[in-house]
A and B are shown apart, each in its own frame.
Chain A
């Protein structure tokens, strides 16, 4: 039983990382109806930037503070150069663009930094507390804390600021928003930039665990995609809950279901997702689109 609860704690911690990347995906999807497969690879790239700065002698926290706005610019640039010209194109065109970005960013990392895995500095201290036989490490609690801050921050921006309102408006009504003076394209660019920052945060959180290497984020983005599908693509709350559910399911499944083990644990989000899709296609928190014929 102790193991069971311990695995739940571990699962929640990795789930929080999946959730922050899922938040990035949902942000992008809500703004531009694009499922950005390449989000994880872009995140890896930004994590490498931070690592490189640190290697050059910049204090770790400072390098994070420098790279966060850089990732924002990167996201905005990618939107501007690769996505905006094909916004009205059919879905499959966008999928190929995303695959191009996926392959491209991974290759850039491979080209610049090589295929060796590097240890990534930890943000959180290496301490832990034991309560009732269950170990709470500072890293796990820290990750959950970061997720809470991200979620509350995002909710506050969306709910209480003008810019958040404008972003919501341009996601919901792209044609009508300009009529009330919203610069839709700027808002979409903001959405992409913000998502890339979220991706960066997710990468920084998971890099100490997985070691920094070009394909580091591939499984993470898969979990995040599952989390977003689970929660419903138009719901940030859903993305967070979906991420946590996926994390816990992964951790429990890998420990307690003998056949799955650690090799097949990547299957777990899909099993969970297949069940949800059959019962509730729009996801747990998604809205069914009502169409007028």
Chain B
């Protein structure tokens, strides 16, 4: 994508800058905003998984909230029943989500495209009633509360700050994993299946296995996000995991830009703050504003915020990097010109 040599340092610098700004955020903002940002980071992790699945493997899932809920519930249940610490519950939460993703994927992946989106939607609807029904383990409507992790003694700052930084580190780890996955052979396989399943199959790729693996991996990311979500709240209940959560993840993923990692963060900020702002404007109208925002956004900027940014960058690029880019484009134009005219005359 943005691969040429003189752009890489720029990209790295930007990344470092963003990371630094994010890390010192708790010093600058009131604690409620810090809490909201922590929530946004947990969403970002789930959306990142969805981007892997949707952007790089071409499968639409409206069930990301389900796996998020599984991760959160697994964390809460293992923390209260067995007294496990956060580091012990993390692998459990991730593994449980991945496992459920795998099991669900077996029938669901028989469908592709919009029907698949719907089958997963059905799962999303099921979560709250199922959480209520399984009350011997989920404690039903009361939910499960447990102690949030305390900051270690060397940590300069209060608990909220600690939880925020924990989410930030988790998100960074997930970004790193996602980049590794997208970069190598795995990423090529995923994209091959997305772009042309038939050719991918003829090259010896097992479509079902790849799709299942992508689905389970994406679910694992959601489980990671759910783990963070449970820890920063110290509480889980069926109310937190309504169908709208799965909708929101999907919306965030697409609004941010599905083939991008930065898009996951932007999308997470969108779904955390835009409904809030909309209800600040007018409480009764907030849903109408939110719905209209989605439709208009898709009509104007189909590839999301990152897509918009990429377009703008492509337009600005010749002026930013005069020396190489412009020359090469001139050369190409000169080469093509005679061919074009020949083609037209003959």
Contact = CB atoms under 8 A, between A and B. Distances in A.
A229 to B, nearest CB: 6
B114 A94 contact: yes
Contacts of A179: none
A99 B110 contact: no
B198 interface: yes
A98 to B, nearest CB: 9
A64 B295 CA distance: 29
B15 to A, nearest CB: 26
A225 B121 contact: yes
A269 B122 CA distance: 9
Contacts of A37: 118, 121
Given A93-B302, A269-B122, A103 B291 contact: yes
Q: How large is the interface on A (under 10, 10 to 19, 20 to 34, 35 or more residues)?
A: 35 or more
A82 B299 contact: yes
Contacts of A290: none
A49 interface: no
Interface residues of B, number: 46
A75 B60 CA distance: 25
Given A86-B302, A263-B129, A99 B60 contact: no
B291 A100 contact: yes
Contacts of B254: 92-93, 95-96
Interface in B116-130: 117-119, 121-123, 125-126, 129-130
A270 interface: yes
Contacts of A225: 118, 121-122
Contact of A96 (B119, B250, B286): B250
B33 interface: no
Given A96-B250, A278-B107, A229 B292 contact: no
A29 B111 CA distance: 15
Where chain A touches its partner, the secondary structure class is helix
Contact of B291 (A89, A105, A226): A105
Contacts of B235: none
Contacts of A278: 106-107, 110
Given A92-B258, A225-B118, A270-B126, A107 B286 contact: yes
A267 interface: yes
Contact of B295 (A97, A106, A264, A281): A97
A166 interface: no
Contacts of B113: 91
Nearest to B112: A91
B115 A104 contact: no
A225 B123 CA distance: 12
Contacts of A33: 114
Contacts of B250: 92, 95-96, 99
Given A93-B254, A96-B294, A107-B290, A277 B285 contact: no
Given A97-B295, A104-B288, A277-B119, A267 B114 contact: no
B79 interface: no
B119 A103 contact: no
B78 interface: no
Contacts of A82: 295, 299
Given A91-B60, A103-B291, A106-B287, A229 B129 contact: no
Interface string B275-306: 00000000011111011111101110010000
B39 interface: no
Contacts of A267: 126, 129-130
A131 interface: no
Q: Main SS of the interface on chain B?
A: helix
A277 B298 contact: no
A222 B125 CA distance: 8
A277 B294 contact: no
Interface in A21-44: 29, 33-35, 37
Contacts of A92: 54, 60, 250, 254, 258
Nearest to A293: B198
A293 B299 CA distance: 33
B146 interface: no
Interface string B32-66: 00000000000000000000001000001010000
Nearest to B55: A92
Contacts of B294: 96-97, 99-100, 103-104
B288 A111 contact: yes
A65 interface: no
A270 B122 contact: yes
Contacts of A274: 107-108
Interface string A256-290: 00010101101101100110011001000000000
B108 A277 contact: yes
B169 to A, nearest CB: 30
A97 B251 CA distance: 9
B291 A35 contact: no
B247 interface: yes
Interface of B: 54, 60, 62, 106-108, 110-111, 113-115, 117-119, 121-123, 125-126, 129-130, 132-133, 198, 243, 247, 250-251, 254-255, 258, 284-288, 290-295, 297-299, 302
Interface of A: 29, 33-35, 37, 82, 85-86, 89-97, 99-108, 110-111, 218-219, 222, 225-226, 229, 233, 259, 261, 263-264, 266-267, 269-270, 273-274, 277-278, 281, 291, 293
